[in-house]
């Protein structure tokens, strides 16, 4: 019942414009990478991390900086995003720049591959969220963690105008603003995500964000 009809087509121009805009916000990626690091057991010296829906790879860059021994894999269905991400990681001198073209609904990785899967703002474009969460469960090692950051469906519609204004002031291009607003239209609430996760067999270990905040973070453990 939650399957999506809207297709988010990312052409080369949108991928480049999105990257230019988001590069201004590296602190958001750094902060998420630091939160994710808290969920890697100290005993795991070389964690296997998947940045799912990596886009231009900005989170992968921060993960590389914080966890130089980690094995980091960026996954994304968009060839344009993947191409930008590869170049960005090379430019940033990252040791680990592995990528795979993939959708969450069908991840071409073996079961029990990853210690941690992080996904930032990709949930809105998952065509089949239930299937996506099952795939994440399959790919995680037992005891592995999902760190999911997502736009919040409960964010008041009237406040979207403020977001648009913020983006205009910060020189986001029209394409990028539309992409972002469409993402809100396809967002989920934290309760919905919690339900997906528990139905899939995850246990929720952390939630961040008030009911009507613009985004939320949820961390879940695979049994």
The contact set with ligand SAM (CB under 6 A) reads 8, 10, 22, 52-55, 58-59, 76-78, 81, 103-105, 120-122, 125-127
> What is the smallest separation between the CB atom of 78 and ligand SAM, expressed in angstroms?
4
Q: Are 198 and 204 in contact (CB under 8 A)?
A: yes
Q: Which of residues 182 and 194 has its CB atom nearest to ligand SAM in the complex?
A: 182
> What is the smallest separation between the CB atom of 56 and ligand SAM, expressed in angstroms?
6
Closest residue to bound ligand SAM by CB: 55
Dist. CA 132–CA 75, nearest whole Å: 13
Angle between helices 26-37 and 58-66 (to 10 degrees): 50
Q: Which of residues 41 and 117 has its CB atom nearest to ligand SAM in the complex?
A: 117
**C-alpha angle with apex 77: 76 to 80, nearest 5 degrees?**
85
> What is the smallest separation between the CB atom of 195 and ligand SAM, expressed in angstroms?
19
> What is the smallest separation between the CB atom of 22 and ligand SAM, expressed in angstroms?
5
Q: Which of residues 8 and 113 has its CB atom nearest to ligand SAM in the complex?
A: 8
Q: Which residues pair with 219 in a beta bridge?
A: 147, 206
> Residue 180's CB: how many other CB atoms inside 10 A?
19
């Amino acid at each position: 019942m939650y399957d999506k009809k809207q297709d988010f087509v990312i052409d080369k121009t949108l991928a480049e414009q999105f990257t230019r805009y988001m590069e201004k916000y590296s602190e958001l990626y750094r902060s998420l990478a630091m939160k994710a690091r808290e969920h890697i057991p100290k005993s795991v010296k070389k964690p296997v991390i998947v940045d799912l829906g990596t886009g231009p790879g900005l989170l992968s860059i921060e993960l590389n900086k914080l966890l130089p021994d980690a094995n980091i894999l960026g996954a994304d269905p968009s060839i344009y995003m993947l191409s930008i991400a590869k170049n960005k990681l090379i430019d940033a001198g990252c040791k680990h720049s592995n990528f795979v073209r993939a959708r969450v609904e069908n991840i071409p990785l073996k079961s029990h591959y990853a210690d941690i899967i992080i996904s930032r703002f990709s949930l809105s474009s998952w065509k089949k969220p239930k299937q996506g969460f099952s795939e994440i469960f399959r790919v995680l090692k037992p005891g592995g963690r999902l760190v999911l950051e997502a736009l919040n469906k409960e964010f008041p519609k009237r406040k979207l105008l403020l977001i648009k204004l913020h983006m205009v002031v910060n020189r986001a291009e029209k394409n990028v603003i539309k992409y972002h607003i469409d993402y809100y239209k396809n967002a989920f609430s934290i309760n919905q995500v919690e339900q997906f996760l528990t139905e899939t067999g995850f246990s929720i270990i952390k939630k961040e964000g008030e009911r009507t905040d613009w985004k939320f973070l949820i961390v879940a453990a695979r049994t």
